[in-house]
Amino acid sequence: MKVKTIRTLPGINIKEREKLIYIACMDSEKECLTLIEKYIRISKFLGFYEVLVDFGHEDREYHIWLTYTIEEAALKVLQSLLQGINEKYIIDDVKSILEKLWYRDILDFAEESGIPSIILENNSIQLGYGVNSTTLSEDKFLKEYKGNLSTLKKSITLNNNGNIPIISVTGTNGKTTTVRLIFKVLQKLGYKAGLASTGGIFIHERNIKNGDTTGFYSAREVLKHPEVEAAVLETARGGILKKGLGYKNSSAAVITSLSEDHIGMYGINDLYSLAKVKTTILKALSPSGKIIILAIPILYDMVDSKENLCLFHIKKNEIIKEHISSGGEALYIEDNSLIYFIKGSFLNLGDIRTVEFTHKGISSGNIKNIMAAIGAVSAIHHNISDIFNALKDIPCNLYSNPGRQNIFHLGKFKLILDYGHNSEAFKEVYSIAQGLNPEFITGIIAAPGDRQDRYIIELGSISAEYCSKIFIREQVDLRGRVHGECAELIKRGVIEKGFPAHRLKVIFDEREALREAMESSVINEVIVLFTQCINEIIPVVNKYIEENTKESIIII
């Protein structure tokens, strides 16, 4: 068989269950069905009653979803079948594998008891998460518990059944900023928190890993740390689709936003399909867990129970009005005040313009991120005033929120650095630039190559509406595009809006584009750079500062 992919999804996934194997193959339907039949038959001989969850055909591929009980056993069965090995030999091989799994009965006990478990790399297992966990090796199990499951059951005590507060955040825009806010608030409130995000993994005050850490294994990395009292997990679309969720029994699930730029990727063909992926995090909530979502129809309609639902939006829209009338929670802005309707009462938390993170109230995106953070933290810490006070003086700068709405005052002009890479983010950041009352706005723009042409063109069109001058650059990772292709699509969007050609320039290198923009800047100009490479950009800014202004050098 021509198999393109075999992938296990240990965590809850888009099929709304744990422990699935996904297979993508290029063969005939008959061959696929034969593989499925043999897998189920062999599994039954081994004592596992596996089932076919889904089977479909799309893009000249067959897509198979099967259950599994033990990952090593299931993979061995499938790989052996694909190699044409006799079924009897497969059964014997897998039995040999199973005999070596000393922790099999312990994991069954944990699952029956509602205790989360993690298989560790050193042939050990962890029962529970963070501070409420215990680690077992085969040697420890034999020495301390005599290798007896009954003795283990009687002896082991796990606070809260091994669970700790977990807050999971997903969405198209705002998720990184929101998890950073939640993490800092929890620290201020006295929790030893762990964070997995686009900016890396942090355990309390320590950065233990850099990079984009928003998937299954990153969540597990946080939950494995024995000092973590509460976990904050940025949960990206890619991670959900590849391995499922790396946790269960969360205290709060947050969906910050939903927009179209990921359509056309990983089989997501419309906004509903994208919403379906994002709402996977709702399936991992504990029975008492809270849902916090942006108050828009497509998300609101996908939440089955509105009982423990908190909505947020800048405006008190019709969805919020209806939700409040039924006694539901909601956050919104009214006359510049942040209102939280909770437990039947309207709490006026104060003037949103006094919250430093909002850039004096001009950042609607950060206002929504603050609302989401308050709703999420309130799921585990019930004093709302404490939460709001902890938020009030957090700055949105390079140190607390690197690469997201960082504003620098550099003599005659201002520079905004932002990670934005879709239409919603572009409009938000340009709106902030307008809120600074500039004479001119200059945009330095690029687009991810794995987006559809229309979304790349749109970024040029949006920039043409806001900017007096535009530099088009290109990302280092072309994501399947040829050199210059994205730049040409963006340019098309700019030109189609009638933007003057003499104010448009293509400079592929991001650093060169920024240098030229700063050198050619005028008094009261705002330069907006959409960047994913803060560490490469700051030295360029520092060199300009050193040569042209009396400002302090930026340190990262």
Token code pair at residue 266: 């990983």
Q: How confident is residue 510, by pLDDT bands cut at 50, 70 and 90?
A: very high
Instruction: Output helix, strand, coil percentages for the chain, rounded to the nearest 5.
Output: 40, 25, 35
Contact 473, 486 (CB under 8 A): no
Q: Is pLDDT at 267 greater than 90 in this prediction?
A: no
Q: How confident is residue 194, by pLDDT bands cut at 50, 70 and 90?
A: very high
**Which of 498, 497, 496, 520 is CA-nearest to residue 507?**
520
Handedness of CA 81, 83, 87, 93 (dihedral sign): negative
Counting every residue, how long is the chain?
Answer: 556
Lowest mean pLDDT among 25-29, 117-121, 282-286: 25-29
pLDDT, position 401: 95
Bigger pLDDT: 109 vs 2: 109
Bigger pLDDT: 552 vs 154: 154
Strand-pair partners of 134: 127
Section 27-37 average pLDDT: 92
Q: How confident is residue 280, by pLDDT bands cut at 50, 70 and 90?
A: very high
The separation between CA 64 and the C-alpha centre of its own chain, rounded to angstroms, equals: 26
pLDDT digits (tens, 9 = 90+) for 481-494: 899 999 999 999 99
Residue whose tokens read 């809260």: 160
Contact 367, 333 (CB under 8 A): yes
Residue whose tokens read 């050990």: 124
Q: How confident is residue 440, by pLDDT bands cut at 50, 70 and 90?
A: very high
The Cα–Cα gap between 202 and 227 comes to 12
Contact 375, 185 (CB under 8 A): no
**Which of 413, 410, 408, 407 is CA-nearest to residue 523?**
413
Section 367-376 average pLDDT: 98
The Cα–Cα gap between 147 and 394 comes to 51
Token code pair at residue 390: 């902890």
Sheet with 61-67, side-by-side order of all strands: 3-9, 20-25, 61-67, 52-58
Section 7-32 average pLDDT: 93
Q: How far is CA 84 from CA 24, 78, 79, 80, 521, in A?
A: 18, 10, 9, 6, 67
Contact 319, 300 (CB under 8 A): yes
Section 177-206 average pLDDT: 96
Q: What is the pTM of this model?
A: 0.94
Handedness of CA 98, 92, 90, 68 (dihedral sign): negative
Contact 66, 21 (CB under 8 A): yes
CB atoms within 10 A of CB 270: 11
Q: How confident is residue 265, by pLDDT bands cut at 50, 70 and 90?
A: low
pLDDT digits (tens, 9 = 90+) for 2-16: 898 999 999 999 999
Q: What is the per-residue DSSP string for 231-296? A: EEEE--HHHHHHH--S--SEEEEEE----GGGTTBTTB-SHHHHHHHHGGGGGGEEEEEEEEEE--
Q: Is pLDDT at 395 greater than 80 in this prediction?
A: yes
Q: Is pLDDT at 264 greater than 70 in this prediction?
A: no
Percentage, residues of the chain above pLDDT 90: 86
The Cα–Cα gap between 452 and 283 comes to 30
Distant-in-sequence, close-in-space partners of 143: CB < 8 Å, separation ≥ 6: none
pLDDT, position 415: 97
Residue whose tokens read 């069109």: 461
Q: How far is CA 311 from CA 35, 274, 329, 387, in A?
A: 46, 19, 6, 17
Q: What are phi and psi of 156, to 5 degrees?
A: -80, 135
Handedness of CA 188, 191, 192, 195 (dihedral sign): negative
The separation between CA 469 and the C-alpha centre of its own chain, rounded to angstroms, equals: 33
**Rg over CA atoms, the chain:** 26
The separation between CA 254 and the C-alpha centre of its own chain, rounded to angstroms, equals: 10
Helix 423-435 and helix 364-377: axis angle, to 10°?
Answer: 110
Q: How confident is residue 550, by pLDDT bands cut at 50, 70 and 90?
A: confident
- Residue 310 has, within 13 A of its CA and on its CB side, a CA count of 27
Percentage, residues of the chain above pLDDT 70: 98
Q: What are phi and psi of 190, to 5 degrees?
A: 100, 5
The Cα–Cα gap between 321 and 505 comes to 47
pLDDT, position 109: 95
pLDDT digits (tens, 9 = 90+) for 458-476: 999 999 999 999 999 998 8
CB atoms within 10 A of CB 494: 26
Section 181-207 average pLDDT: 96
pLDDT digits (tens, 9 = 90+) for 397-431: 999 999 999 999 998 999 999 999 899 999 999 99
Token code pair at residue 533: 């490479």
Q: Is pLDDT at 262 greater than 60 in this prediction?
A: no
pLDDT, position 271: 86
Q: Is pLDDT at 1 greater than 80 in this prediction?
A: no
pLDDT, position 479: 79
The Cα–Cα gap between 514 and 540 comes to 8
pLDDT digits (tens, 9 = 90+) for 231-249: 999 999 889 999 999 999 9
**Which of 374, 380, 373 is CA-nearest to residue 349?**
374
Section 214-232 average pLDDT: 97
Contact 120, 126 (CB under 8 A): yes
Q: How confident is residue 263, by pLDDT bands cut at 50, 70 and 90?
A: low
Q: What is the per-residue DSSP string for 339-363? A: EEEETTEEEEEEEGGGSGGGTTTT-
- Per the prediction, the chain carries an average pLDDT of 94
Token code pair at residue 342: 């909770």
User: Hey, what amino acid is at 242?
Assistant: K
Q: Is pLDDT at 359 greater than 90 in this prediction?
A: yes
Lowest mean pLDDT among 155-169, 263-277, 452-466: 263-277
pLDDT, position 133: 97
Q: Is pLDDT at 121 greater than 80 in this prediction?
A: yes
Q: Is pLDDT at 298 greater than 60 in this prediction?
A: yes
- Residue 150 has, within 13 A of its CA and on its CB side, a CA count of 0
What is the enclosing helix (H) or strand (E) of 134?
Answer: strand 134-136
**Which of 463, 452, 521, 481 is CA-nearest to residue 472?**
463
pLDDT digits (tens, 9 = 90+) for 128-161: 999 999 999 999 999 999 999 999 999 988 999 9
Contact 115, 157 (CB under 8 A): no
